Chains A and B, each alone.
Chain A
């Protein structure tokens, strides 16, 4: 799990944090996946969280036309050149 996703999960309130960790542990095993498939809401929560992490990977983003570093650099340059806060 990436440090960013770890930080996101760590920031959640305790019940959600524990719940998410259990769901993610289940989602990492075939039998757990089969179990999750019986609970669509839980399955979607696990899937969404994993997808958030996977597609946050800069290389994956770039392949889809999104470059976070470039967006941030352009912002920094704009703030510097225009004296924005």
Chain B
């Protein structure tokens, strides 16, 4: 046996899932519990919670891809942090849980031909919410930062509420996005991944998948590298890619999967965000309590959603839109600083391409979205002023007002990239079909943010997980418990087979 052969690790499975984030971990657990032999491959590590230090720079460097400094090119450049490791971005997210808004589902059915509606997805949402212990934040746990926004919203008569989150036994440590030190946040790395393992799935970390092998139009294996340079091969008649919106199109491209629609890497929506600070009379101690615990949705129909955001001094100092003495003065009153965020449901669309092995992400803000930011920043100012702020610090250069801001004046981040392998029933318009099967390739599926065909206007993790649940049960050829039965049919084009049986190959899934 050659040295190369002996350093090659080969696994066999019914399904190989690539990426252990919101989508991948859910698919892997549901399939494994359904009786399938599953191998789950994750590029990042299993993070050791004993090393969570609640210190932002260290944790950004440790838990995030590129230290959280992945950025888009365009006007303006936008920071786009992504998680990496078991749990994917759910490990570092804020834990906010929204179901897909019904109007969005209607649009998907009408515009993209997807067979989804509130009722058919409800069992999947229920299942995910139960698995993640999703519940509304209590006012006590929400902390004083939320109280500031609540007071402002109440005085203005704006619609608002406490957010629903996937947390259990949360004590409001204030560092959700820097690694929850109490394991209260029910990210997929401590929920679905252990379930997958308990049901027999093999989970490999440090597994960098380089290629999906396709032969005569059928996926049959994935190839990658393990730590130490060992070559990895997983032979499986079904492959589910869940590398996230930025990395899934790259894997498809590396694998030379035909892109008949020309949509791969396109349609990138970001849900761009910004945040303002306010100096209050009262002590806020923004990092005491749940940072993202409260929302104001008065202007959601106009594409503007306001949600809480907060963190320890190092985080606040980095985010505070001031420099020099003004920054030092505001930071000396950190205990009195409040912060609240604005997210814009974008009509701007970006696209990805590859340079070397890295993604290049292009995205520029449309006029329409710029207008939403202008209006949103003005509303943030109003919110804080109504709450009694002494000073409001908007994320704009000195002397620039919301009304006069141009795109390059905005200080934006984005946390919710979606759409780069969008689902569309028509092979000419989408990368996957409505059942998340890649058009034109048998046995290849996608289960992550990349399939979400339009901006959601809300945080996406629950949508991604519900779609992943639906895919898993589809692959098992079962209905999610509680779901209405759906006739067996050709999942590719929606038409019934002559014999009424699904065309795709069955898994042997003992129940």
Which residue numbers of A lie inside 8 Å of B, CB to CB?
A: 2, 4-5, 7-13, 16, 40-41, 43-44, 47-49, 51-56, 60-61, 64-66, 68, 71-72, 74-76, 78-79, 82, 84-85
Contact = CB atoms under 8 A, between A and B. Distances in A.
B190 A7 contact: no
Nearest to A48: B318
22 contacts: A7-B67, A8-B67, A11-B69, A12-B66, A13-B71, A41-B408, A47-B323, A47-B324, A51-B314, A51-B327, A53-B314, A55-B316, A64-B334, A64-B335, A65-B335, A68-B55, A72-B52, A75-B52, A78-B171, A84-B169, A84-B183, A85-B49
Interface in B379-425: 397-398, 408, 411
Given A8-B67, A84-B182, A55 B60 contact: no
Given A65-B334, A78-B182, A11 B55 contact: no
A51 to B, nearest CB: 4
Contacts of A49: 318
A4 B58 contact: yes
A84 to B, nearest CB: 4
Interface SS majority for chain A:
helix
Given A61-B314, A71-B181, 20 more contacts: A2-B57, A7-B61, A12-B67, A43-B323, A44-B321, A44-B323, A47-B323, A51-B318, A55-B318, A61-B312, A64-B334, A66-B287, A66-B313, A68-B312, A72-B181, A74-B171, A75-B180, A75-B181, A76-B50, A85-B49
A56 B61 CA distance: 14
Contacts of B194: 85
Contact of A8 (B60, B315, B317): B60
Interface string B162-179: 000000010101110000
Contacts of A2: 57
B312 A66 contact: yes
Given A47-B327, A52-B56, A68-B54, A79 B69 contact: no
A3 to B, nearest CB: 8
Contact of B313 (A4, A60, A74): A60
A53 B55 CA distance: 10
Interface string B296-316: 000000000000000011111
Contacts of A10: 61, 67
Given A43-B323, A68-B312, A8 B358 contact: no
B70 interface: yes
A61 B58 contact: no
Contacts of A11: 60-61, 64, 66-69
Contacts of A82: 169
Nearest to B408: A41
A48 B7 CA distance: 45
A15 to B, nearest CB: 9
